[in-house]
A = this chain, B = another copy of it.
């Protein structure tokens, strides 16, 4: 990737956008901003590694996953261009990545040193605000994730999804904009189990459904 393409990319990220070109260039020159490239399927951070910089994805795709006892790998979260990594951990007293972070595609990442970041934060209220917003949004997603993993029965997960969609589509008749297969993946269950549970819910007169829509009856 050409050097100035990178510069444009860097400048266009949400985090950096509120900085002056001078700030950006100074930080690049003295090594506080650094771009690292990863090949497809490289580990970026191991579980337990210390987190000492903020990372911003310039291009590519990054996933957080875990491997269970039987060796099955399973993806918890995906990050794309403009997403940040480590922002929520960075200033913790135990700044350890809690899970393995790796690139699923060729990925370019901008790294910002912790202390340099701190300097920028307290010298630039707009930058501070942006940063706080970003990590807050991040934490919100985390919270949502927990809420999601806490649903124990498939039916609960389905109802959760349906209620949300029903609100956002403002109708009890919910148009599925994704395939059932994708829905199953989204709520983290087998497709067949989803299928079975939907059938049961129809028996219980909770819903009606066809290939691309579901109607909430209660």
Cβ–Cβ < 8 Å partners of A96 in chain B: 140
User: In the complex where A128-B122, A155-B69 touch, is A76 in contact with B146 (Cβ < 8 A)?
Assistant: yes
A153 within 8 A of B: yes
Question: B140–A88 contact, CB under 8 A?
Answer: yes
Q: How far is the CB of A89 from chain B (nearest CB, A)?
A: 6
Q: How large is the interface on A (under 10, 10 to 19, 20 to 34, 35 or more residues)?
A: 35 or more
The segment from A37-45, A129-137, A179-187, A207-215 that touches chain B is A129-137
Name A98's contact: one of B88, B125, B132, B143 (CB within 8 Å). B143
Report how many copies the assembly holds.
Answer: 2
In angstroms, Cα B71 to Cα A119, docked, is 49
Given A89-B143, A142-B143, 16 additional A-B pairs, CB 8 A: A68-B151, A69-B153, A76-B150, A88-B88, A88-B135, A88-B136, A88-B143, A91-B133, A91-B136, A92-B137, A93-B137, A94-B137, A98-B146, A121-B132, A138-B139, A149-B150
Give 4 closest A-B pairs by Cβ, nearest first.
Answer: A88-B139, A92-B136, A91-B132, A98-B143
The interface of chain A, by Cβ under 8 A from chain B, is 66, 68-69, 76, 88-96, 98-99, 118, 121-122, 125, 128-129, 132-133, 135-140, 142-147, 149-153, 155-156, 159
